[in-house]
Structure 1
Amino acid sequence: MSRLSVRRNYQSSETYNRDMNGADDPDPSQNGKDGGWYAWLVVAASHVCLMFVFGLFQAFGAMFATIQRYYGETSAKTSWIVAIMMFCEFGLGPISGSLCKRIGYRKTVMIGALLSTSGFLLTCLATSIEFLYLTLGFVVGAGYSLIFSPSLGIVPLYVRKKYALANAVSMSGSGTGGFILSPLLQALTAHYGWKGAFIVFSAVNAQMCVCATLFRTPDQRLKQSSHYSRDNTKERPEPPKSNCLSEIFDINVFRDHPKFILVIAVFTLGCSVGFNGLPSHIIPRAEDLGIGDDRSRALFMSMLGTCSTIGRFAPAAVLLRRGTIFTGSRLLGLSSLCLGLTSLFSSLARTYAKQAISVCFQGFFSGAFMSLMTNCTQETVGGDRMTSAISKSTPFIAIGVLTGPVLAGYIYDVTGDYDYSFYFYGTSSVLAGILMLLLDPFVTRCEKNCRTTPKEKDIELDVRYSGLEHVEN
């Protein structure tokens, strides 16, 4: 890369940042401001979207046994519904990321909301469990895949200084979903049957279309603001658009950030394999052990969601403190380790009180783990590449999502005891935590060395020089 090309790229990026933020509204990351009331309105909309995207698979545990009895199928075969749904939600992530670049965040989320709503409506026509693989699995999962990445990726575009807090508010939507959706589906099923419950729920799910209207990127909002005249808008150059596939899909994110590969591996093993199917087995396990009745067992999902919400905010309280020795990577490893140990020891919970305590710990550590996943991604690749990075990681996560719940269900069918399924979940999360704690210092050091090569230093000097020259001009 020549000095002239670096200088031109630097100047164009400076122009683009100035166009996005405006002369009277400098970059929030530079002046300590995050984006005002609209930024936190976007965070609230992201919270609602993730309430459905993550909360539904937790709430599905309240209907797992009902659907299994209705069709008289095995636990493993019923688990394929959640497995396919989560596989499509994560596996189609690259499509979501590319759509965000082509048509924008708002339209992508709107399409996802309408697609998932149609999937819930079509469920009323189900005559076999294979039909649910299509409606709840593929259609709803594909719709949620178009909502997942944009809902997470738009937050760092508006909030940078207090991103840890904004991310906690956004990610706590999954906990809120588990708290609200589980008793809601339980009540709807009691009054209308499980098919009627999904019909009513489709109307609730459609409210994400309202949230989608708020998902405007900062540059779109600035173009519509009153302090930009039409003449000034014409004078400001538009950022160049490229049709290059490597830029559209941003496949270089793995090469540029090796640590991101470790984060993906830990999340895939610790959450996709080690937790995603666990909520679906909590209520059936309690039913096998004769713990509580249908209504009291449904409260386990509310407990899981409530504690998961609390767990979302725990890392922010630590990361926002200056001088702390706990980095996002270390906390991610510790939370995965604690989640695994909690799942392993859940076999000791044979009464309602003990089961409730176990569920609360599982919710807390899983919530912290999910929040730290996005924090580590943002720290590794930066806020501008957040949506792209998440969409690239989802196919790998989808592999774990597809295999984890099905393997756990198969283990139960062979042993007839859900405790062995929880041993499987716990072992996966423990291994992920150990992997993160052991490899993170090595990978971090390697990435730092790669960025401080003589060639990189020369480029950094060129950028600084061109930046000073640009300011003087």
Structure 2
Amino acid sequence: MAKVNRARSTSPPDGGWGWMIVAGCFLVTICTRAVTRCISIFFVEFQTYFAQDYAQTAWIHSIVDCVTMLCGLGFALCYSPAIAMVGKYFSRRKALAYGIAMSGSGIGTFILAPVVQLLIEQFSWRGALLILGGFVLNLCVCGALMRPITLKEDHTTPEQNDVRGTQKEDFKRASPYSPLTNKWAQTCLCCSLQQEYSFVLMSDFVVLAISVLFMAYGCSPLFVYLVPYALSVGVSHQQAAFLMSILGVIDIIGNITFGWLTDRRCLKSYRYVCYLVAVGLDGLCYLCLPMLQSLPLLVPFSCTFGYFDGAYVTLIPVVTAEIVGTTSLSSALGVVYFLHAVPYLVSPPIAGWLVDTTGSYTAAFLLCGFSMIFSSVLLGFARLVKRMKKTQLPFLAKESDPKLQLWTNGSVAYSITRELDQKDGESVATAVPGYNPT
């Protein structure tokens, strides 16, 4: 097989082939996230055909989302690498690039929602799934667009190269039957994993990870139950599918406009705040949903929820990159999307159980709303505490005795106490003749 030549660059090109990467990621999000969202349209068909309740039927959507985020299976082999590649090719216009790439989810939902409803009416749910499967084969084309790139921060230092070269020579000298070979391999593997996933010990990343769990719990059930809820309040099948289309097209606007806005100089340093605001506002939308029981009221809800859903989805990779850096972005995104798996698995069935138990959607929607609001509040509180600590450190440094402070210069720590004492001695010697400070 011919060797693949890696494109080399000292910094992200912010253009060029990067726009092809964005196009590939755009199509990936259509084939993965948009198709997954259309399961909501299949929900009533599955429930009727298999004669199951809400909780049992919800497992279909839950397992699809969970496997995508949890394993290296199916959509996961395309979704996470495509998103990471966008971060490799863009720095200055990263939020805009992610906004365009992630808007594929909204565009796909806008187009596929009425199409899927039409396919179900014409070919039944089995034929509709078969046609969607053929459409998803376009992921093979997307994979062909992903050209590797080596950035400046990806280059190893000369010391690391020497160490790795020495390890390779030691491995070549070692006999393949030597018991030390396996031990050496295990040690190198542990060191490599420790270096690659060292970001999981960062306090900022831990807070982000916890908030993602609550955010993922809240965002998933709507795409399963929006169509069934609309049908339960008297909306027709075509109108319910139209709500999903609205949700998708406004999602696009949220992706692109929020990406463009947060790339502006005035908001670039507030991407973290924009992310938590978007998550919190989606939670508030959830709290209002049980009161909206007609199509004219559900349309504004779909617009509002879709916009802020697109906004925070765009900013997830950006916020993650700000915390862990570009070098560890691929691994960090893998962890972040992995954390989506468990909430995606359990939240739709839990919401379905609440609907079966209470006979209404109110409890399910309220639980999702409070979960997303808590995720936003947690991030805001963590950022506030961090800023308070930063402002207190200089104040405490000024209040403390300067003679007891230590400064670090490289690996050498020294005190200025002796220097101040010598200056005091010199001043006394000047004032008192014959005084010797020693």
Normalising by structure 2, report the TM-score: 0.77
User: Which position in structure 1 is the counterpart of 2:233?
Assistant: 289
Deviation string, structure 1 residues 301-320 (Cα, Å, up to 9, x no partner)? 11111111111123323322
Q: Paired residue for 2:139?
A: 208
Partner AA of 2:75 in structure 1: Y
Letter in 2 for 1:268: L
Distance in 1 separating the partners of 2:132 and 2:324? 37
Structure 1: distance between partners of 2:322 and 2:14: 17
2:113 to 175, 178, 182: 182
Q: What is the total number of aligned residue pairs between the two structures?
A: 364
Taking structure 1 as reference, are residues 414 and 155 closer, same or farther at Cα in structure 2, changes over 3 Å only?
Answer: same
Which has more helix, going by share of residues? 1
Tell me what 2:176 maps to.
Answer: none
Query: Pairwise mapping of residues 22-421 of structure 1 onto structure 2 (< 5 A)?
Result: 27-29=10-12, 33-36=13-16, 38-92=17-71, 96=72, 142-219=73-150, 244-248=189-193, 250-255=196-201, 257-270=202-215, 272-291=216-235, 293-324=236-267, 327-421=270-364
Query: Would the aligned equivalents of 1:267 and 1:373 in 2 still touch at CA under 8 Å?
Result: no
Q: Rg bigger for which structure? A: 2
Deviation for aligned residue 1:58: 1.8
> Per-residue deviation at 1:186?
1.2
CA RMSD, Structure 1 to Structure 2 (Å): 2.8
Q: Residue 442 of structure 1: CA displacement?
A: 2.6
Distance 2:267 2:64 in 1: 39
For the 8 Å contact 1:59–1:177, the answer to whether it is kept is: no
Structure 1: gaps spanning 5 or more residues:
1-18, 97-141, 221-236, 460-473
Per-residue CA deviations over 1:405-452 (Å, capped at 9, x if unaligned) read 1111111010111122211111111111111111123347779999xx
CA distance in 1, matches of 2:363, 2:277: 23
CA distance 1:455–1:407, change in 2 (3 Å): farther
Whether the 8 Å CA contact 1:68–1:78 is kept in 2: the answer is: yes
1:21–1:212: structure 2 CA closer, same or farther, 3 Å change rule?
closer
CA contact (8 A) 1:318 1:326 kept: no
Residues 449 and 189 (structure 1), Cα distance of their counterparts in 2 relative to 1, 3 Å cut: farther
Q: How much does 1:89 deviate?
A: 1.1
Find the aligned partners of 2:340 and 2:109 in 1 and give their Cα distance. Answer: 21
Give the whole-Å Cα distance in 2 for the aligned partners of 1:458 and 1:79.
Answer: 58
Check whether the contact 1:307–1:364 (CA below 8 A) recurs between aligned residues: yes
Shift of 1:395: 3.1
Shift of 1:335: 0.7
Structure 2: gaps (5+ residues)? 152-161, 169-184, 394-405, 412-438
Correspondence for 1:458: 410
Write the letter of the residue equivalent to 2:36: F
Identity of matched residues, %: 24
Kept after mapping to 1: 8 A contact 2:212/2:336:
no
SS of equivalent residue, structure 1 residue 168: helix
CA distance in 1, matches of 2:301, 2:366: 14
Instruction: Please identify, of 383-392 and 162-171, the stretch whose mean Cα deviation from structure 2 is larger.
Output: 383-392
Q: Is 1:153–1:383's contact at 8 Å kept on the other side of the alignment?
A: no
The aligned counterpart of 2:377 is 434
Q: Distance in 1 between matches of 2:340 and 2:390?
A: 23
Residue 267 of structure 1: CA displacement? 2.0
- Between the aligned partners of 2:391 and 2:189, the Cα distance in structure 1 is 29
How far is 1:60 from its partner? 1.2
- State the shift of 1:245 in Å: 4.2
Distance in 2 (CA, whole Å) between partners of 1:373 and 1:77 is: 31
- What TM-score, normalized by structure 1, do the two folds share? 0.71
Maintained 8 Å contact 1:258/1:447:
no
Structure 1 letter corresponding to 2:112: L
- Check the 8 A contact 2:221/2:347 in 1, yes or no: yes
Q: Which secondary structure state, in structure 2, belongs to the residue aligned with residue 143 of structure 1?
A: coil
Distance 2:22 2:254 in 1: 18
Q: Check conservation: 1:337, 1:432, Cα contact below 8 A.
A: yes
